[in-house]
Structure formats: structure tokens, C-alpha cells
């Protein structure tokens, strides 16, 4: 437990009801969307940046760990208090501070829900492009920390491509400003550095983002296949024709049946795979691309290609994709989502490997992923009440990620490294590169009090997880 004087001071900073330290409250903050758990010693809910600074300075005075948290939808343990300490929840810092449509910019606090920003500007013909599947719940601050992506990153890029400036608090309480509304800034790109740093360098308190105009025409296609490999080959052939859809999503048979039973989106229950393909742009160009993509799909043995006839049909198809994780929850007590990346030309090989891993460990693995950029999301179904099943699940996930690396890919495309994959970083980076990442992190976070135990390996030769300093602290990470 934290010293009583710390709790007392925190309540002075944010108010009585904005400090949570009772066991039943802390249980709600011991997990995110991953499979790991660890409980903070206290949760504080500031309302403004000034309060964040005061909390950070108090934590420094008592040498306490700090962990920032948005909505807790992350999938790699990034918002879990692995080494205890104070968790700063940004749910109350949820104001859209400025909308500047003349310059296509917005300024928001970190607790703004992703979709709420688009809803605020769509009536004027604008939108915010990064669209994680959890966009109805996830916050922009959390997206910045994890450099979140989404289905439409194929054309628009991930969060870092739309963040232009930040206000952030360092572990010593210093407030820094990086970037801004201008298109380019001289000097080092600190905004790009902090975006995706997983809360290990600073606590973000303000974000300047890019807004985009809605396209003239949007067309959504559903291509239906008897074999997953044919769907995968289609993705490579679309790229070969120099067509860049805004999204190409793939669902295998296991996944699409779970999704259809839950959402009734119109996916065929007897198919082995479907591709959800979206095009947008000028009307003439989009209409021509629809014809060409239909041809590519049929050349790769698609048994049917449907084009959404109106906005209602389009929204229904996307409802199935966006609600996929909830659909899995209807049929399995738990599931483990992976986030490996492979070259587009290796998607078919990777799917075959995933199915072999499924057979090897006796686990059901469904697949739903951003096929356009090779970002695989195998979802392993398991029962968390059976410890041996949890262990097999983690082993299966590790083998899949190692395979992704072996074919020229990565261990994460958008979920982050967190505490889930940090020990795999040496498989991706040589020692000198990891050492440089560690040195860079130490410039911002020299005492390793900010989100310790994340991103970098914790073994000898790399940064150790800093033990908690309060009584009863666990020190065996």
C-alpha cells in the first residue's frame, strides 16, 4: 500500500472522489485487453494538465512508479501497472479543445474517445482517419502511446501519420511542447519519437491531430472464397496492379461464422474466407477500380463478389468487422489476440503455419486481420480457468510471432510491445540497437519510474523492471 500521506496529498490535488485506493476499485484497473494482470496501488483521475504535473511531482518526491491509462482497451499490457505504484487515468481529460477546419486540425485532451472526434466534424465533411476496431471506446491518448492503427491504415497510415504536436509531462514534472499545427517543424521529431513510446517516456496531456476531408465516393466489396489461400493471393495481386484500397480486411471461416452469428452482417456461413475491400476517392476512379478488383478476385477463384448497394449495407458489413472481438466472447471464455506483421506475399504461408500451430496445441485459432498491410491478428480461443491451457496458448502465440519474424516481419503492427512481447525484442533487434533504444528512453525516464517493465526486455543486459518501493512490493519480475 502507498503511504497514507501520499493518498492524502493526491486527494488534495484532484479531490476526494478522484482517488481510488480500495481493493474493489483497483480490481477494475488491474487488466487491459491482454491476458496479463497486475494491480496498481492507487488510481488517480485528474481533470487537467496542472493536476497531472502535481501528481507526477508527488510521485517523484516519494520515488513511486507511474502508469498512464486511457480506456484500457490495449492488447499488449501497456496500461497494466506491472510494478505497482500510481495509475493516472485520463478519462476525465476528455475535451475537444479546438476544431480548426480552415487548417484541417484539431486539438484534444488525451481522454477524448477516438470516434467522438469524427462525430464532432463529420457534419462539416471531415473525419479523423485512424480507426482501431475499438474506436467506440479507445482514447486518442492511448492511441498515441501505442501508435494504434486500424482497418484504414493501408491508405491513411497509423496514428503517427496524423499526430502533429503534443503536450507532455516528463517524470520530473517538466512540461514539454512538441510540434504543433504547422505542417513541419525544424529540429528533432520529438512528436514522432513520443508517439508509440508506450508511455515509457512521458505522459501526454494534449494532442494536435490532422483532420481529413470525406471522399467523394466510397465503395465496399465483399469477396467470398472457398480457400483462405485464394483470398491471400488476391491481396498480393491487387497490390501488383498498383491499386491501393483504403482497407483490405480478411476473415477466415472460423471467424466469419462467429461474427455472422453475433451481428448478422451478411457474411456467408459456409465460406472459408472473405475479403472486405473498401475503395474511396473521385467517383470515376473508384468506379473503375471496383471493376478491376472484381476481376482480380474472380481470377483468384472468388466464388462471389458483392458490392454494397448503399450506406446501410456498407455499415452492416463494417459492423461485422468492428464487432468481431465481441463475437468471439460469445463462444469462448477467453481469447488471446496476436499482432504479427508479415510481407503481403507471405500471408498465405503464414495462415498455413497458424493452422499447423492450431493442430499442434489443440487450440482453436480464428483469423481476422488487416490483409492489405500484412498485419495478422490470429485469435487463440482458450479457457483461462485451466492454467495448462493458458500456457499452451502463450506458447502457440510465441511460435506464431517467431514465424512472422522469420519471414521478414515484426512482432507488432499496431498493438504495441507492452509487457506481452518485450522479451521477444532481441529476436527483432540486435543488441546495439536495443541498447540505443534503452539510452534514448533513459533521457526522458532516467529512474525507470514511468511504466516500468514495458517495451524493452527485462533480462540482464537490458533495463530491469524497477521494483516497487512500498511495503509488500513484488521484486521478482
Question: Which residues, listed in sequence order, are joined to residue 167 by a DSSP beta bridge?
Answer: 177, 206
pLDDT at 326: 87
472 in a domain, yes or no?
no
Report how far residue 91's alpha carbon sits from residue 205's, in angstroms, rounded to the nearest whole number: 12
Relative to beta strand 212-213, strand 175-179 is unpaired
pLDDT digits (tens, 9 = 90+) for 324-348: 988 998 999 999 999 999 999 999 9
The torsion of the CA quartet 119, 124, 130, 131, rounded to 10 degrees, works out to 40
Does residue 360 belong to any structural domain of this protein?
yes
Those residues with Cβ within 8 angstroms of residue 413's Cβ, 6 or more apart along the chain or in another chain? 149, 339, 340, 341, 370, 373, 374, 375
* Co-location of 193 and 281 in the same domain: no
Number of other CB atoms surrounding residue 36 within 10 Å: 15
Number of Cβ within a 10 Å radius of residue 281: 18
Q: Are 337 and 325 in contact (CB under 8 A)?
A: yes
Boundary of a domain, candidates 268, 302, 326: 326
Last residue of a domain, one of 43, 62, 89: 89
d(CA 449, CA 458): 14
Asked if residue 233 is part of any domain, the answer here is yes
Stated pTM of the model: 0.93
Last residue of a domain, one of 406, 431, 452: 406
Same domain? For 171 and 240 the reply is: no
Identify the DSSP state of 421.
S
Where the chain has pLDDT below 70, the residues are: 460-477
Rounded to an integer, what distance in angstroms lies between the CA atom of residue 90 and that of residue 142?
Answer: 9
**What gap in Å lies between CA 154 and CA 160, rounded to an integer?**
14
Based on the fold, state whether residues 304 and 342 are members of the same structural domain: no
Residues 273 and 128: their CA atoms lie apart, in Å, by: 30
CATH number, residue 115? 3.30.465.10
pLDDT of residue 462: 37
Q: What is the CATH number of the domain that holds 268?
A: 3.30.70.2190
Look at residue 191 and tell me if it is in a domain: yes
Residue 31: give its domain's CATH number: 3.30.43.10
Looking at the structure of the chain, the number of domains it has is 4
| pLDDT value of position 185 | 79
**Does residue 435 lie within any of the structural domains?**
no
455 HSE (CA, 13 A, CB side): 22
Residues 241, 312, single domain; the answer is: yes
108 shares a domain with 132: yes
> Do residues 144 and 73 both lie within one domain?
no
Residue span of the structural domain in which 78 resides:
4-89
**Is residue 280 situated within a structural domain?**
yes
Nearest to 41, CA basis, from 450, 451, 468, 476:
468
How far, CA to CA in Å, does 296 sit from each of 169, 225, 232, 233, 250? 50, 13, 12, 10, 15
Amino acid at each position: 500500500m502507498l503511504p497514507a500521506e501520499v493518498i492524502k496529498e493526491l486527494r488534495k490535488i484532484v479531490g476526494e472522489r478522484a482517488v481510488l485506493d480500495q481493493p474493489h476499485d483497483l480490481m477494475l484497473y488491474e487488466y487491459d485487453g491482454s491476458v496479463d494482470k497486475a494491480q496498481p496501488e492507487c488510481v488517480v483521475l485528474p481533470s487537467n494538465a496542472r493536476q497531472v504535473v502535481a501528481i507526477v511531482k508527488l510521485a517523484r518526491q516519494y520515488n513511486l512508479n507511474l502508469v498512464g491509462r486511457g480506456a484500457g482497451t490495449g492488447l499488449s499490457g501497456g496500461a497494466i501497472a506491472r510494478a505497482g505504484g500510481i495509475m493516472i487515468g485520463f478519462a476525465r481529460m476528455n475535451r475537444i479543445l479546438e476544431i480548426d477546419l480552415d487548417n484541417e486540425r484539431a486539438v484534444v485532451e488525451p481522454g477524448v474517445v477516438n470516434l467522438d472526434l469524427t462525430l464532432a466534424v463529420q457534419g462539416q465533411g471531415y473525419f479523423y482517419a485512424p480507426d482501431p476496431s475499438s474506436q467506440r471506446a479507445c482514447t486518442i491518448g492511448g492511441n498515441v502511446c501505442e501508435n494504434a492503427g486500424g482497418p484504414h491504415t493501408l491508405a491513411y497510415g497509423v496514428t503517427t501519420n496524423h499526430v502533429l504536436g503534443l503536450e507532455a509531462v516528463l517524470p520530473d514534472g517538466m512540461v514539454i511542447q512538441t510540434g504543433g499545427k504547422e505542417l513541419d517543424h525544424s529540429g528533432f521529431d520529438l512528436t514522432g519519437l513520443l508517439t508509440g513510446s508506450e508511455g515509457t517516456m512521458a505522459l501526454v496531456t494534449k494532442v494536435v491531430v490532422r483532420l481529413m476531408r470525406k471522399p467523394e465516393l466510397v465503395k465496399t466489396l465483399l469477396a467470398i472464397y472457398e480457400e483462405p489461400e485464394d483470398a491471400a493471393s488476391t491481396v498480393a495481386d491487387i497490390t501488383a496492379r498498383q491499386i491501393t484500397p483504403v482497407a483490405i480486411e480478411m476473415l477466415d471461416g472460423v471467424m466469419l461464422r462467429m461474427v455472422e452469428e453475433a451481428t448478422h452482417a451478411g457474411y456467408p456461413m459456409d465460406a472459408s474466407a472473405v475479403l472486405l475491400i473498401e475503395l474511396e476517392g473521385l467517383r470515376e476512379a473508384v468506379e473503375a477500380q471496383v471493376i478491376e478488383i472484381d476481376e482480380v478476385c474472380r481470377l483468384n477463384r472468388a466464388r462471389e463478389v458483392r458490392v454494397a448497394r448503399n450506406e446501410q449495407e456498407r455499415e452492416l458489413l463494417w459492423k461485422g468487422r468492428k464487432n468481431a472481438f465481441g463475437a468471439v466472447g460469445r463462444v469462448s471464455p477467453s481469447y488471446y489476440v496476436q499482432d504479427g506483421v508479415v510481407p503481403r506475399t507471405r500471408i498465405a504461408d503464414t495462415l498455413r503455419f497458424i493452422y499447423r500451430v492450431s493442430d499442434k496445441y489443440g487450440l482453436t485459432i480464428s483469423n481476422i486481420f488487416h490483409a492489405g498491410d500484412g498485419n495478422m491478428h490470429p485469435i487463440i480461443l482458450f479457457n483461462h480457468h485451466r492454467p495448462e491451457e493458458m500456457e499452451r496458448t502463450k506458447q502457440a502465440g510465441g511460435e506464431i510471432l517467431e514465424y512472422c519474424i522469420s519471414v521478414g516481419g515484426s512482432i507488432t503492427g499496431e498493438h504495441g510491445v507492452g509487457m506481452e512481447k518485450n522479451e521477444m525484442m532481441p529476436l527483432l533487434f540486435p543488441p546495439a540497437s536495443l541498447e540505443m533504444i534503452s539510452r534514448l528512453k533513459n533521457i526522458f525516464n532516467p529512474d525507470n519510474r514511468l511504466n516500468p517493465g514495458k517495451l524493452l526486455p527485462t533480462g540482464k543486459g537490458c533495463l530491469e523492471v524497477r521494483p516497487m518501493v512500498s511495503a509488500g512490493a513484488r521484486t521478482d519480475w
